[in-house]
Chains A and B, each alone.
Chain A
Amino acid sequence: MKKLFIAAICVIALASCQTQTLYSWYDSEDATYKYTKRGTDELLTKAMAQYEKVINKQKGVRKVVPPGVNAEYGFLLYKAGKKDEGIALLRAEIAAYPESEKFISRIIKQLEK
């Protein structure tokens, strides 16, 4: 009885550990923060690697890229000179989240001016 009780507690503890998130974020938050704070090329490379990971390796409940990530990465790529790739990602944001259209189209227009 005691063993069963302990086993049950272990199962509950394990199950509660596996709280599933909607998205996988990896270290993107920290990397973006460091880059926006200091703006060096090295930090930009690190931040971009995190974006790639967030875009390509989604293990969360939704299995889709989180809001804003395609747009942020596209915005940074555009500023780094990869204009076509950048615009394509900004458009991908609108395709995935139509509610972002007003803001993102505005950004695209500003960039293409």
Chain B
Amino acid sequence: MKKFIIMGVVSLLLTSCAQSISRSVQYPKMYEERPLTIVVMPPINQTNHVEAKDFFYTTLYAPICEKGYYVYSPMMTMEMFQSESAYDAEQFIEGNLSQFRNVLGADAAMFTIIKSWKRNNIGGKLTVGVEYILRSTKTGETLYQREGLIKVDKSVSGGGGGWIGALVDLAATAVNTAATDNVVAGRACTVFVLSDMPEGKYSPLYDKDQKLPAGKNNVKATVKK
């Protein structure tokens, strides 16, 4: 039995090794250009949920800082984007990005396309689908690209049991997810999808992560919050 378990674990390890591609193979341009400064572009919203753009914009900043990059404050760049009528990133996603290099000093621009933003109040779940594209302001090339469909489960357990307890649970879940859980969900999605992005200068893993595994280009997952 014991041998069987060990064999099982070993074969699991082996199969997971065999399938993974290293970060340096998956994202070679990240290691060639080594961007340090990243400007977060206003998200491109393809959903009917109008507010998703604002929710999501603010949640991009901290997770990218946590990857070790210098990220320009979205609050301050937003003022600039709005005053230059550049709040719609659609016009830049395939265009010339040199102005962001000249005006901000940004090495790269992070574009996001929100593809789905769905709420299920009864289950307390939010499903967020986003594509992340990091483009160089120097060469215009895509340095990193990954898409995720992340289900964020914030359901609260507790209550008194029985049908009243179930109602209390339901109400608590509805309250809990109503306010800024959009912010929590957006952040959870970004953290999950960008987990395989090569580390920036301020991370202890900077320049030491080339051999770490990169994830699939398209990722689906459920995150508990």
A-side residues, CB < 8 A to B, are 21-23, 25, 29-30, 32-34, 36-37, 61-62, 66-69, 71-72, 75, 97, 99-103, 106-107
Contact = CB atoms under 8 A, between A and B. Distances in A.
B62 A103 contact: no
A interface, by DSSP: helix, strand, loop or mixed?
helix
Contacts of A66: 62, 65
B103 A33 contact: no
* Chain A to chain B: the 7 pairs with minimum beta-carbon distance, closest first: A102-B105, A68-B73, A33-B58, A103-B104, A72-B73, A67-B70, A99-B37
Interface of B: 36-37, 54-55, 58-59, 61-62, 65-66, 68-73, 75-76, 78, 103-105, 180, 183, 187, 202-204
Given A30-B183, A33-B180, A75-B76, A22 B202 contact: yes
Contacts of B183: 29-30, 33
A113 B78 CA distance: 20
Contacts of B59: 29, 33
17 contacts: A29-B59, A29-B61, A29-B187, A32-B58, A33-B54, A33-B55, A33-B58, A33-B59, A66-B65, A67-B70, A68-B65, A68-B71, A71-B73, A72-B76, A101-B105, A103-B105, A106-B103
